[in-house]
Amino acid sequence: MKFKTLILSGFACLSLTACTSAPKIPQLETGVLEEVQNLEVYPNTVNNKAKLTKFIDKCVIEFTGNLEAGKSIEQWSFKGLTLISGGSATFAQDGSSTAANFDLHAPDVQNNFLALRHNFHKDALAQCN
């Protein structure tokens, strides 16, 4: 009986050691920094919102707005002042959808990104450096 207890105690110790020394898997998303609603944007949308999310290596702004013809979602990823990628998807009421990547060097794309980013508090944006 003492031998069984000794063996079970040994396995319990090994189990605890394995659990506490296992490497931690980093999470890709570290959290939502801020969410804003009812932004003034062009084209006009209703019930729109934008969410600023921090990831390990970048931040992402996701904008969602309802248009007359359907729903539009834009995603902008950036680090500091550098825009990394941007794109949109539009979902029409008839069930069709379209998607596009933005030309990051186009002045109107840069202006749209800056206007959207301007809606977030500077303390939240500072965490994206």
State how far the alpha carbon of 118 is from the alpha carbons of 1, 47, 71, in Å. 71, 19, 22
Q: Which helix (H) or strand (E) holds 1?
A: none
Annotated domain spans of the chain: 29-126
pLDDT higher at 12 or 70: 70
**Cα–Cα distance measured from residue 118 to residue 114, given in angstroms and rounded to the nearest whole number:** 6
Backbone angles phi, psi at 38, to 5 degrees: 55, 55
Tens digit of each residue's pLDDT (9 = 90 or more) over 35-82: 999 988 877 788 899 999 999 999 999 999 998 889 999 999 999 989
Question: pTM surpassing 0.85?
Answer: no
Of 124, 129, 118, the C-alpha closest to 33 is 124
Tens digit of each residue's pLDDT (9 = 90 or more) over 24-36: 544 456 899 999 9
